[in-house]
Amino acid sequence: MPPQALATLATVLSFVPHGNHVTLQLDHGSAEVVWVTASAFRFRRVLEGPLPDARWKETDPVTVQADDLPGAVRLRSRYLDVTIQKHGLLVRVRNPDGSYLMADLSEPRSEAVGVTWDRQNPAGSQLYGLGPRADTVFDLHGKSLRAEVPFLLSTNGYGEYHPGAGAYHFDFTQDGRYRIQAPEIDYFFYYGPSPKEIFDEHRYAHGTADPWQASAGRFGSWTTLRTALLRLVQGAMSAALSPSFDLTPYANAPPELQQRARQLGSIVPTVVPGPLGASEFRQQLRSFFITYNAELGDHGYPIWHPLPFQFVEDREGARHVDEFLLGDEMLIAPIYEPGGQRTVYLPRGIWTNLETNETAQGPRTITVKTHSLPVFARNGAIIPLDSSGGKLALHYFPKLGAEFFLLESDLAEYSQVHAAPAADIIRLEIESKKDRDYLWVVHHVDRPATVEFEDAQYRQVAQPSQLADRTWHYDSAARILQVRVHAQAGEDCITNLRFE
């Protein structure tokens, strides 16, 4: 064994808990565990000398039971069971039912580039993340690559993030294990087990993410458009949550490429519109983006939800990096090649093509051919779309119940909209925090016998242009019902659709 490897085999002599910190006294070097929550901790270690100072976010006290075992230090919170081997300081983490989440397989060794050690990768689990890559699959198995963002998510139910500055390299070419090459031993461990819970823990522990560019270069091409799409989705899966996309390089591109670049750029949270400008769909998404930007700040969820983020158990979805959900409601499949068509994987559920109002049952793969941006609404969703004059259209896709919380940024409060079927009634409800005109657009329904609230029946009109407060119009060909209401601030505006 090389001398530098022998030097890393430190031994834990004792440990001292103080608050959320557990200091490990070693025969050489230093280490500590700091609990962020009952589901998350930070582990730091240096092979020689004292630990450098670190900036800590003050967090609520975490109840942890610390036990001194013959060969290990055992730390147990409500959700995690962490053992640290006394000789070599290998860290192993179990979940509440006793299953291994993460386990070190080798002692760290010092190298010219920093520190290297191996981790277990349980059979059947997949690993995602490591930054805005242009890879066409999420799973990292078989790859060896530099991490642009050292955030790793495992389908085994955990995430890890290495906050130190410097270059990171991860090697996943060996079955059952992966190798970390890092400038230091310093990482956050998050137990979900779902991706949303892992991202929530990461937001709480680490704070906001740094902004980054989806693409670079003076001239746009089909290749740069495809690369930008893949990087945006891979970045979202890596908690790189502040992307921007510049449409300026596409200003002199052929018209078809301009159109597709504009469609993609218009659904990126931060877009530089350049001469092309944002699309009309972007304008309709104003309230939608305001609400999801708040969720990003509160929980650290990406506004673009990669399929493995949203559909954790769907392994087929993990093969499709070139599509994603915008929020929880819309599946977006940008077209990034000439010809105006592409295949789209639809996860389990019923999906409505917003352009045609046609439905398709997933899981399945379909082909779409269109000049528009392919957008599919999820069954049981309410999608708010802004229109001129301050009116807000609420597109509801039955037959499942749905809700949407609209952030009123000027009031710092949420208006709530709900829709739910029950027997021969669909109940539509708006708890509005401000005066506003709303237009319910209910898809895939038969003509109602009445549209009413309590004893007041709404009036049917012959044309959509005639819609006014408490009136409705039904399109029998499309099977779409429109109901217009004006809600006062503080009003609980309820509409019942009766089918008899």
Give the pLDDT confidence score for residue 3 in this predicted structure: 37
CB 417 within 8 A of CB 406: yes
**What tens digit of pLDDT does each residue of 52-109 get?**
988 777 889 999 999 999 999 999 999 999 999 999 999 999 998 889 999 999 999 9
Please determine, looking at this structure, whether the domain spanning 3-205 carries the CATH number 2.60.40.1760. yes
Report yes or no: 130 and 182 within 8 Å, Cβ to Cβ. no
Higher pLDDT, 423 or 174: 174
Tokens of 444: 């895939």
Domain ranges in the chain? 3-205, 211-378, 381-498
Provide, rounded to the nearest whole percent, the portion of the chain with pLDDT above 70: 98
Bridge-partner residues for 392, per DSSP?
386, 438
**pLDDT band at 113; cut points 50, 70, 90:** confident
CA–CA gap between residue 115 and residue 101 (Å, rounded): 22
On average, the pLDDT of the chain sits at 94
Same CATH fold assignment for domains 3-205 and 211-378: yes
Q: Tell me, what's the pLDDT at 59? A: 86
Tens digits of residue pLDDT in 192-211: 999 999 999 999 998 877 89
Confidence of residue 8 (pLDDT cuts 50, 70, 90): low
What is the percent of the chain where pLDDT is above 90?
89
Q: What is the dihedral of CA 460, 465, 470, 472, to 10 degrees?
A: 40
Residue type, 67: D
Task: For 370-416, write each residue's pLDDT tens digit.
Answer: 999 999 999 999 999 998 777 899 999 998 999 999 999 999 999 99
**What are the phi and psi torsion angles at 42 (to 5°)?**
-120, 130
pLDDT, residue 423, reads 84
- Number of residues that this document lists for the chain: 500
Specify the pLDDT at position 1: 37
Token pair 């147990």 is at which residue? 76
454 pLDDT band, cuts 50/70/90, is confident
CATH 2.60.120.200 fits 381-498, yes or no: no
What pLDDT score does 370 carry?
97
Segment 487-492 shows an average pLDDT of: 94
Residue 466 scores a pLDDT above 80: yes
The per-residue pLDDT for range 155-174, each reduced to its tens digit, is 999 999 999 999 999 999 99
The model's pLDDT over 274-329, given as tens digits with 9 standing for 90+, comes to: 999 999 999 999 999 999 999 999 999 999 999 999 999 999 999 999 999 999 99
What one-character DSSP code corresponds to residue 277? -
pLDDT reported for residue 206: 86
The DSSP secondary structure of 207-254, one letter per residue, reads: -PPPEEES---SS--HHHHHHHHHHHHHHHTTT--EEEEE-GGGTTS-
| pLDDT at residue 210 in the model | 86
What is the CATH number assigned to the segment(s) 211-378? 2.60.40.1180
HSE-up of residue 437 (Cα within 13 Å, Cβ side)? 14
